[in-house]
Amino acid sequence: MPLHVNLYHEVQRQERARQRDPLRLSMLGLLVIAIGFVANYFVVLAQAHAVGSQYASLAAQFAALDPKAQAAKARQAELNEEITASDTMVKAVESRFYWAPVLDQILKTVPRTVQLTHVGTDAAGSPGGSSLVSITGISSGPEPRKEAEALRTALEARLSGQFKSVTSVFKNLDDSDQIVMLDGRRLATANFTIDFQLVAKDPAAAATPPPARSARIAAK
Amino acid sequence: MKLEQEQIKKIALSALLLVALLYGYFTYLLDPLQLGEKNATNGMAAILPQISDAKQQIAKAADLETKAPQATAFLTDLKNSIPDGAPIAWFPPKMADFFKDHGIDKCTTHLVSEGPGPMPGFRKLVWSVDVPKVEFTPLGIAISSLENDEPLLTILNVSVDATREDAQYQHATLILSTLVKS
């Protein structure tokens, strides 16, 4: 075996020592870590940029929508006000008290033996309130008071079909000295005044049919 | 392996550099980025409902805009049906014409009172319509037409009295209110 003499062993040892230098190794390690951090930074930067862009886009969209939404809100309030006003008007119209059906019922109810001399009405001041009808007249017959009572009950019954509640009361019912001729007979008479209190069923009023019969009101 | 004094110093220096690198990276680079991202995310979470609300608001208004003409048509028609000018100038002739159309030749109309209407833009006028000679049936028909044809008009009071002169005719007085533009 030939003898091998390494004349450079000192140089080689120094070279190995240089390669194993802790500072050099740690610098290499730091460099690797730094490269990793830089790569991570760019990844995070891309994510942040994407989120930022999305936010900027939404903010721009909102900036464009907001004035329109404010204008729409104002317009909606304006329209709601108009609709409310229209509804109020509809209610006001529908809650009116219609007198023609009442006059029609009076016309249909008054018998031949009764002559009305006055019909007076007062509408309720507010919806749901009671309206007043007052009729004054002369009833005639063998028992004129009964004729007047028959008129009161008949009219109350007829009006009850149209109203939520109807109450009637004689304001006065007095025998009269006057004698009237009806169908060739002399009949006694009585003067009466009847008040009817009417409460409407609901604000929506029915159409008002015109009276169909001839007048029953006559002069005293 | 035993470290020499010089090597220990170098390792310590390296450790210091590592700490500085970590601190610098997280404090000056990563944190601002993450803060910006967090702010943008929070902003998006806040702005998305606002955008949704704004879109809903615009849609609601548009929907109402299409429905409103129908809903307010009644009011518009009523407003358009009110003549311009002073009511005292047009209402009494209107009543006279109306009753004349129903075969009642004579009627006089007087303004009784004036007050605010049920809503802004309207005022309420109360009138007295005197019909000196009328039969009950034509009066009933006229009242029926008046109530049906004139939605702004309300008959407050009807008074029908028999006349001594002619048994066929009665004397009627109507108290009615109407709404006019203010």
Query: Are A69 and B65 within 8 A, CB to CB?
Result: no
Give this prediction's pTM.
0.69
Specify the pLDDT at position B143. 93
**Could you tell me where the beta strands, DSSP code E, fall in B13-169?**
108-116, 122-134, 153-162
Put simply, the chain B residues between 141 and 170 with a CB less than 8 A from any chain A CB are 141, 143-145, 147-148, 151-152, 154-168, 170
Give every CB contact of residue B117 below 8 A, 6+ residues apart in sequence.
Answer: B123, B124, B179, B182
A30 or A219: whose pLDDT is higher?
A: A30
Q: pLDDT tens digits for A58-80?
A: 999 999 999 999 999 999 999 99
Distance from CA of B148 to the nearest CA of A (A): 7
Query: Are A89 and B78 within 8 A, CB to CB?
Result: yes
Mean predicted confidence (pLDDT) in A28-53: 91
Residue A124 near residue A131, CB atoms below 8 Å: yes
Q: How many CB atoms lie within 10 A of CB A187?
A: 18
Q: How many CB atoms lie within 10 A of CB A88?
A: 15
Statement: residue A219 has pLDDT above 50: no
Q: How far is CA B132 from CA A142, B3, B110, B174, in A?
A: 35, 134, 14, 11
Specify the pLDDT at position A85. 85
Q: pLDDT tens digits for A132-179?
A: 999 999 999 999 999 999 999 999 999 998 888 999 999 999 999 889
Specify the pLDDT at position A205. 46
Confidence at A125, pLDDT banded by 50, 70, 90: low
Distance from CA of A85 to the nearest CA of B (A): 7
Task: Give dist(CA B36, CA B27) in Å, integer.
Answer: 13
Specify the pLDDT at position A15. 85
DSSP string of B111-142? EEEEEE-SSTTEEEEEEEEEEEEE-HHHHHHH
Average pLDDT of chain A to the nearest whole number: 86
Specify the pLDDT at position A58. 94
Query: Are B161 and A118 within 8 A, CB to CB?
Result: yes
Give every CB contact of residue A178 below 8 A, 6+ residues apart in sequence.
Answer: A138, A189
Task: Give dist(CA A26, CA B163) in Å, integer.
Answer: 128
Task: Give dist(CA A48, CA A191) in Å, integer.
Answer: 100
Strand order in the sheet with A163-182: A163-182, A185-200, A130-141, A114-122, B153-162, B170-181, B122-134, B108-116
Amino acid at A76: Q
Specify the pLDDT at position A203. 56
Distance from CA of B91 to the nearest CA of A (A): 19
Identify the CA nearest to B110 among candidates B176, B181, B180.
B176
Statement: residue A214 has pLDDT above 70: no
Statement: residue A86 has pLDDT above 90: no
Statement: residue A218 has pLDDT above 50: no
pLDDT in tens, chain B (182 residues): 566 787 788 788 888 988 998 999 999 989 999 999 999 999 999 999 999 999 999 999 999 999 888 888 888 888 888 988 899 999 999 999 999 999 998 999 999 999 988 788 889 999 999 999 899 889 999 999 999 999 889 999 999 998 877 778 899 999 999 999 88
A39 touches chain B (CB under 8 A): no
